[in-house]
Amino acid sequence: MSTVFDEQPDLGDHDLPNMDLEDRHALRRVAGLSTELQDISEVEYRALRLERVVLIGVWAEGSLASAENSLRELSRLAETAGSEVLDGLIQRRSRIDAATYVGSGKARELAGIVAAAGADTVICDGELTPSQLRNLEGVVRVKVIDRTALILDIFAQHARSREGKAQVELAQLQYMLPRLRGWGESLSRQAGGRVAGGGGIGTRGPGETKIETDRRRLRARISRLQKDIAGLSTGRKVQRGQRRRRDVPSVVIAGYTNAGKSSLLNVLTGAGVLVEDALFATLDPAVRRAETPSGRTFTLTDTVGFVRHLPHQLIDAFRSTLEETAEADLILHVVDGSDAEPEAQIAAVRAVLAEIGAGHVPELVVVNKIDSADPVVLHGLRAREPGSLSISAKTGAGLAALRDAIEAALPRLDVQVKLTIPYSRGDLVARAHAEGEVLATEHSADGTLLEARVPPGLAAQLEAVLDDCVQVQG
């Protein structure tokens, strides 16, 4: 995908002070972002009425290629939300304009592009302050949203469970709270002074404004949602505690959105969860039982995908869900090997993992989609990520090696037992097979001779049964 510079020179990575004013302030059109729907089913999947959007980004740091890839990702996000992308533009600046994001002159130029394209929405590739949002809307005369609002909208469309919907609503309200706006009479809905039973001279006035009322209601709703989410997360904590007591290892699949995490869960466990070529198709965590090649049981959890500049509101709202990652024994960090910038994906995911307190959990990097990846890119990833594995969840390539690597990375069971279990306690033998690693079995007249490595709790029960048998015989 190439960039059209409108006959301007390639600026490379030169310092901004050495650039001509025209080059420094130019809007560059990013090619290949237009969307033309070919199938009515695609329209039905998205929305009855598609919004027509123009994307705008500011290239303030890094390379031009990185800025373009970020805008292309924004284009995919917009399409996932149900929009038709008409154009994408980047401005080179030393820093984002504090008033209008792209600068007042470029904002007026953007307004002309929006009008010519017939767009009804502008999406900015960054998070806008409330004043930037108001000022830019005032210039372009159409709705303006930022990357954060777009991601929140996608999450709202894809949330299915009660907890997922509550988490998304909480994130949206936390985002909306500082951005409430009001004009004219709507600011003075409630009277003060004598009308409100006030104190007379010096105290009469509009009283609580409409916007203050809305903020109070939002804060009350946020408080209620936080309590609801805390209550809903209790059941998951109980389940995690039960697995810990049974010493069942936990493996979490984490990674960038649309990297193939759900596909990997399906091929490893036969879970049958939703797999879709769309961003943020999975919001609700799915926990499934899996086994290593030797038969050792562990849990495998699919989690919500991450993305560059993931809104802090979402991280806070989904923190109870993401606790599963922070308490795991192993993280399978799935990377899309066919992406233009897989290293940027890895950095973004690790930043979020560190933010949720999962930076200490052992990590196994799994490069997926090797069937469609550039071999040169794969070679570079292997060099930068020693110990990583390359697989294709679609074709099954590399899955056997992945299963072996998971088994080797799981925490070892440190209690080895060798004893004879009476046939009347066959349930304990079954548990040794399910929860531990059976090394050898032999049947005799007295029972089953079992040699195995098992969790400490099960080892204590096995030894207690043996002691009871000895006491009975004595």
Which mean pLDDT values do the consecutive 10-residue runs of the chain (474 residues) have? 38 45 61 48 38 91 86 90 90 90 90 92 91 92 90 82 84 85 47 49 57 85 89 68 67 89 87 58 73 85 82 75 82 92 90 88 94 90 92 92 92 81 89 86 90 82 73 45
| Closest of 311, 367, 366, 371 to residue 337, by C-alpha | 367
Amino acid at 19: M
Say what the pLDDT of residue 248 is. 80
Are 133 and 144 spatial neighbours (Cβ–Cβ below 8 Å)?
Answer: yes
Query: Treating both helix axes as pointing N-terminal to C-terminal, what angle do 399-409 and 261-269 enclose, rounded to 10 degrees?
Result: 90
Say what the pLDDT of residue 11 is. 39
Q: How far apart are CA 280 and CA 123, in angstroms?
A: 18
| Closest of 358, 265, 251 to residue 315, by C-alpha | 358
Q: How far apart are CA 102 and CA 111, in angstroms?
A: 12
Question: CB within 8 A of 120, min separation 6: which ones?
Answer: 51, 52, 53, 142, 143
Say what the pLDDT of residue 41 is. 36
* Beta bridge pairs of residue 418: 451
Q: How far apart are CA 140 and CA 121, in angstroms?
A: 9
Say what the pLDDT of residue 449 is. 92
| Closest of 383, 376, 435 to residue 410, by C-alpha | 435
Question: Cα 159 vs. chain centroid, distance in angstroms?
Answer: 13
Residue 360 is given by DSSP the state: T
Are 121 and 83 spatial neighbours (Cβ–Cβ below 8 Å)?
Answer: yes
